[in-house]
Structure 1
């Protein structure tokens, strides 16, 4: 798989975001950040604004720890699921209403997908290249694919007995509309996932976190009625098989620090900032 211009641009944006994340307390100016990514201030400002929809200065606000703490403070640990729904107004958050999960049968879970037909394809996103895969029942896998071959091998390892076809189908196309916010083409997205009952509960809870909002591991544990299982929740979040659609990137530490991410902490920071910017429009 060749490196696309979008991937090149995101890599440069990610480098800038990493610098902003590490130095936000010093509030670096445009010239400083542009110099770090070897661009003129004018070119960097234009590229960044095209990508994020806001200026680097505004984006920096969304990366600050204080902003993260403010978002967390808006979401009390005792909120019921219905309370989440009240925050889903406006097109930027509609996708949370359209996603549901169907767990695989015990046989599908145990036999490595021997009866499954899986279509897969590579696609571009604002955060780099992705590998997306689907069964006849729904999306079963999405991963950021900085290395296409490695990403494909991880998919094969998850379902070693499945029959694979490199093909972009309608389920995949529909899921990818999430990134363009082309809501007129968005239908209900169904996920067909391999996971334990506990993992499925955690992933379902993640879907209820509105775009532009954040939660914590402890809060998710309370939502699924396992208040002492924060560590197990963290493990389930770390094994999320569907990047972005199941928004594990919206779960951060209770201190406000963003923490780790399966597909890179800088990418997690980029997604959080980008979603905050989109929701603030």
Structure 2
């Protein structure tokens, strides 16, 4: 890291600490930039390059995490959470939760109480799978070794949702992707919850063709954040839907295959199988 990069990193680190300390004041860009002795324009650019998101968005993430903690306490109202976070009213907190969490503050406090989730266990070419769905689409898919631990991890994602062990059409359609079949796949519907940045990264992953690979740096450039490869890696690591959102198609710029939530060996197996399938599909017919 050269001298300028060190300076920029120190400014970003100081800004993050300032935001965490002063989030109840809901400081604007000028106030945060002033705390780092940087012009607002220059600060906005270096912060976004380093953190993978704008100072405003980072402040929103810090604010909503605090509001979540308030909502977890007994008898805390949405108004209590908004006031303690420094927001001007419940409508602002409501908008934050909708934009970032994909649910209202009350729905978060209830832990998905009104959400109904079907789940089932299945076998695949690459190991056992737990797949779960709402009425809107697949919300979770993970490889597992222990069935009980896998189910526990799913429940932690939606602590108060209603669960039913049931294989539905959404799940069947998703699992069909592992079949060696020449029949066209039906469109797979996903029901995802994440930050704007995470959703942007996951959407970009969906555009990587089967049998092809990309790097964290290239993916960061694709979403307009060329210096945010670390943040991209973090978003990829938060992927809630194995295989369907193909985080396995991302490798290091050196060509090294690593950093897969469900194991490097499985990642290599999936990549090899996809490339073999791709070769079969594109092979010229013999006349």
- TM-score interval (norm. to shorter): 0.5 to 0.7
1:218 aligned partner: 217
| Alpha-carbon offset, residue 107 of structure 1 | 2.1
Deviation by residue 1:13-35 (Cα, 9 ceiling, x = unmatched): xxxxxxxxxxxxxxxxxxxxxxx
- Higher relative CO (Cα under 8 Å, sequence separation at least 6) belongs to 1
1:262 aligned partner: 261
Q: What SS is found at the alignment partner of 2:191? A: strand
Cα distance in structure 2, aligned partners of 1:258 and 1:128: 19
1:11 aligned partner: none
- Normalized against structure 1, the TM-score is what? 0.61
1:93 aligned partner: none
1:200 aligned partner: 199
Cα distance in structure 2, aligned partners of 1:183 and 1:194: 32
| Alpha-carbon offset, residue 149 of structure 1 | 1.0
Cα distance in structure 2, aligned partners of 1:234 and 1:204: 14
Alignment gaps of 5+ in structure 2: 1-99, 281-287
Structure label with greater radius of gyration: 2
Which of 153-162 and 110-119 deviates more? Answer: 110-119
Is 1:251 matched with 2:246? no
2:237 aligned partner: 238
Which of 142-151 and 247-256 deviates more? Answer: 142-151
1:143 aligned partner: 142
The number of residues matched between the two structures is: 179
1:110 aligned partner: 108
Which of 151-160 and 173-182 deviates more? Answer: 173-182
| Alpha-carbon offset, residue 185 of structure 1 | 6.5
Cα distance in structure 2, aligned partners of 1:105 and 1:145: 27
Greater per-residue strand proportion? 1
Structure 1 residues 179, 274: CA separation in 2 closer, same or farther (over 3 Å shift)? same
Structure 1 residues 192, 104: CA separation in 2 closer, same or farther (over 3 Å shift)? farther
8 Å contact kept, 1:122–1:131: yes
Alignment gaps of 5+ in structure 1: 1-102
| Alpha-carbon offset, residue 228 of structure 1 | 1.3
8 Å contact kept, 1:139–1:190: yes
Structure 1 residues 183, 197: CA separation in 2 closer, same or farther (over 3 Å shift)? farther
Q: What SS is found at the alignment partner of 1:133? A: strand
Cα distance in structure 1, aligned partners of 2:182 and 2:101: 28
| Alpha-carbon offset, residue 110 of structure 1 | 3.1
Q: What SS is found at the alignment partner of 1:161? A: coil
